[in-house]
Amino acid sequence: MKRLKNKIAVITGAGRGIGRATAIKFAREGAQVVIAEYDTGSGKATESEILRKGQSAEFIAVDVSDESSVNHLFDDIGNRYGRVDVLVNNAGILQDSTLKKLEPEQFDRVISVNLRGVYLCTRRAGDLMREQGSGVILNASSVVAHYGNFGQTNYVAAKAGVIGMTKVWARELGKDGIRVNAVAPGFIATDMTAGIPEKILTMMAEKVPLKRMGDPEDIANAYCFLASDEARYINGAVLNVDGGVVV
């Protein structure tokens, strides 16, 4: 039995990395996937990869930090599908710098994509989900929200904020049949971590009790479980998927 059969699932930032792996996993589990991605090339590539297998996917361009772009995305989804069953707020960026060097523009940009983008998408998906009386919202946090990280004032502020918003929305939306949870990935091998020098990556992997970095599929599997009815009584949770980094 496919776990997400006929669910309309919107995944932001699904052109690459964890978002792409989640789109592929959800489509395999029977979902009709909307690849809500900034970059047309990678968004279309994920779409083709899923369609080639005879599964269902559609790329729609969006900048999650831009209100009118997000409104256009959900107007489009509302008109054509009439519902949204799952929203995965996955899109995220890094602009690392120590406090001493961090410019306000870098602070604002990361907050704008990683925090405001989550709010803008959830606001519109929440309207559709309330109308239908059901839905699942999944937010990308990070292990660094729990313990901070050198050079990541903006990123950690956003990821900790995502946990806060998850808890607020779990309380506000539960009565409408909507579950809201966050996933806090550890060190996952994607383009986001590809820029880190090999020596540091080895050191980071050594700190993980399971002694390896995670794969995007490890996070996709967690999203799939939380999106499915198997998780029907899980609401307001933050699931660490980090090989035991935070225990």
Cβ proximity of 37 and 115 under 8 Å: no
* CA angle centred on 168, ends 68 and 11, rounded to 5°: 45
CA nearest neighbour of 35 among 5, 78, 72, 73: 73
- Residue 34's identity, in one-letter code, is V
Specify whether the CB–CB gap between 26 and 4 falls below 8 A. yes
Q: Which is nearer to ligand NAP, 140 or 227 (CB)?
A: 140
User: Which residue from 56, 122, 152, 190 is in contact with ligand NAP, where contact means CB under 6 A?
Assistant: 190
Binding mask 7-36 for ligand NAP (x = CB under 6 A): -----xx-xxxxx-----------------
Near ligand NAP by CB under 6 A: residue from 33, 34, 64, 136: 64
Query: Is 142 a residue that touches ligand NAP (CB under 6 A)?
Result: yes
Considering the complex, state which of residue 41 and residue 133 has its C-beta at the smaller distance from ligand NAP: 41
CB of 136 to ligand NAP, least distance (A): 17
> What own/partner pairs with CB < 8 Å and gap ≥ 24 does 156-163 have?
157/107, 157/110, 157/111, 157/115, 158/92, 158/110, 158/111, 158/114, 158/115, 159/114, 159/184, 161/111, 161/115, 162/89, 162/114, 162/115, 162/118, 163/238
User: Which residues are marked as active site?
Assistant: 155
Interface of this chain with ligand NAP, residues 193 to 212, rule: CB under 6 A: 193
CB nearer to ligand NAP: give 15 or 135: 15
Total residues contacting ligand NAP by CB under 6 A comes to: 30
Site for ligand NAP in 89-108 (CB under 6 A): 90-93
What is the smallest separation between the CB atom of 93 and ligand NAP, expressed in angstroms?
5
Q: Is 241 in the site for ligand NAP (CB under 6 A)?
A: no
Contact with ligand NAP (CB under 6 A) among 121, 137, 140, 226: 140
- Name the H helices within the chain: 17-28, 40-52, 67-80, 104-111, 117-132, 144-147, 153-173, 191-194, 198-207, 216-227
Reduced to 3 states, what is the DSSP secondary structure of residue 149? coil
How far apart are CB 180 and ligand NAP at their closest, in Å? 16
Considering only 24-32, 71-79, 86-94, 224-232, which stretch makes contact with ligand NAP by CB under 6 A?
Answer: 86-94
- H or E element at residue 37: strand 32-37
Of positions 135, 161, 185, 243, contacts ligand NAP by CB under 6 A: 185
List contacts with ligand NAP (CB under 6 A).
Answer: 12-13, 15-19, 37-39, 42, 62-65, 90-93, 113, 117, 140, 142, 185, 187-188, 190-193
